[in-house]
Structures are given as C-alpha cells and as structure tokens.
Amino acid sequence: MKIVFATNNLNKLKEIQQMLPTSIELFSLKDIGFEGEIPEDYETLEENAFQKAQYIFDRYKISCFADDTGLEVDSLNGAPGVYSARYAGEDCIAENNMRKLLFDMAGKANRSAAFKTVVAFVTDSEKIAFEGVAAGEILIEKQGDEGFGYDPIFKPEGYDITYAEMSSIEKNKISHRGKAVRKFTDYISSKS
C-alpha cells in the first residue's frame, strides 16, 4: 500500500518509518514532488490534521496521513496547544519557543503538561483520526540534545530523563506521536 506522510519534518519521517509495517510504502512530500506550505487554518489539532491530509489527497489522489501535535501546559490553561510551533512568533525556532515557555512558567509550582497528537488519514473511501497523549512535566532548564521541538524540557511521566535524552526508538515507544501512529498502523494492518 502506498501512503504519503504530509510532512516536511525529516525527524518525524524517520520516527514513523521505524514504526510502519514493511507492506506500506511511505512517501514524503519531497518524494511526490510537493513543495511549499500546506495550510493549517484551524484551532484544533484534529481539524488541522484533516486539513493537511485532505489537501495532499485532493492534489495527488494518493492515500495520505498528516499529524498535528500540541503541547498543553496545565498552569498556562493548555497553552501553547495548537500554537506550539509558533509560540514565540511566526517563523521562530525551537530554541525561542522553549525560552518563551520557560519564561512564562517561571515561578509556577505546577509543571504538569501533556503532548497530544492527532493523526488524520484520508483515502478515496474514508477519513479517520487517531489520538495519542503523553503526560509529563516541564523542567526548569534544558536537558539533552536529541530530538526536536520542546524535547529538552519535557520529562515524560515515570522517567528521570527528557525526550531529548532518549534515542528515537525509545521515544517512539512512549511518545504521543508513537501512540497515535501505532493506533493508525494497527488499523491499517488489520485491514490488509
């Protein structure tokens, strides 16, 4: 089965490639010749994930999945949430987002947070979503340099290390995206 993963993020592509059964041929946006930005106009992870998958499906007619992730911090009423990528402003880098988050949380005793991922899958006959959640806490400073995004300041529940101190294989086993993608791959495997 041929499937496009609607992302330009090579870290994610690598993470997901390790989790898919070999019967699935995974293509990136680059592989199918898509260049540019896919719109993300909505205020929920699910709507954005469906928008991205549908956008590519409509243009290439290949089954497509897309993911959308947000980091929800309890003491910030769920922020940055759907705005996680641009928390410190449009076109900002991960370093700026982490700095802003640590600044906004300065002095806050409650460090609880959760990463949430929604994977949306669009084919010619169906549209279906899968969710994965990973609870944890935000540290007061960075630890580790693997991974991407907020990894150096997120310590998953039950661990003494951050996502950025784990290998991608270890992270996949417990992560928000790992959980959502496993639901998705289990679903596809059960159909084929």
Beta carbon of residue 69, minimum distance to ligand IMP (angstroms, whole number) = 4
Beta carbon of residue 36, minimum distance to ligand IMP (angstroms, whole number) = 16
Exposed/middle/buried for residue 82 (C-beta within 10 Å: 0-12, 13-18, 19+): buried
Residue nearest to ligand IMP (CB): 149
C-alpha dihedral (118, 12, 99, 46), degrees to nearest 10: -10
Q: Are 38 and 32 in contact (CB under 8 A)?
A: no
HSE-up (13 A, CA, CB side) for residue 109:
0
Based on the shown chain and the rule CB under 6 A, indicate whether residue 137 belongs to the binding site for ligand IMP. Answer: no
Q: For ligand IMP, which is the closer residue by CB, 44 or 110?
A: 44
The single residue listed with the structure tokens 């806050």 is: 108
Based on the shown chain and the rule CB under 6 A, indicate whether residue 130 belongs to the binding site for ligand IMP. Answer: no
Q: For ligand IMP, which is the closer residue by CB, 63 or 97?
A: 97
Q: Are 66 and 53 in contact (CB under 8 A)?
A: yes
- List 58, 68, 74, 186, catalytic entry: 68
- Give the residue, chosen from 16, 55, 68, 179, that forms a contact with ligand IMP under the rule CB under 6 A: 68
Number of residues that bind ligand IMP (CB under 6 A): 16
Long-range contacts of 89-97 (CB under 8 A, 24+ apart): 94/148, 94/149, 94/150, 97/149, 97/150
Q: For ligand IMP, which is the closer residue by CB, 71 or 188?
A: 71
* CA R_g for the chain: 17
Based on the shown chain and the rule CB under 6 A, indicate whether residue 149 belongs to the binding site for ligand IMP. Answer: yes
Beta carbon of residue 154, minimum distance to ligand IMP (angstroms, whole number) = 6
HSE-up (13 A, CA, CB side) for residue 87:
27
| Tokens encoding 110 | 């409650």
Does residue 68 have an active-site annotation? yes
Q: For ligand IMP, which is the closer residue by CB, 23 or 103?
A: 103
Residues with catalytic function: 68
Residues engaged in binding ligand IMP (CB under 6 A): 67-69, 71, 84-85, 94, 97, 147-151, 163, 175, 177
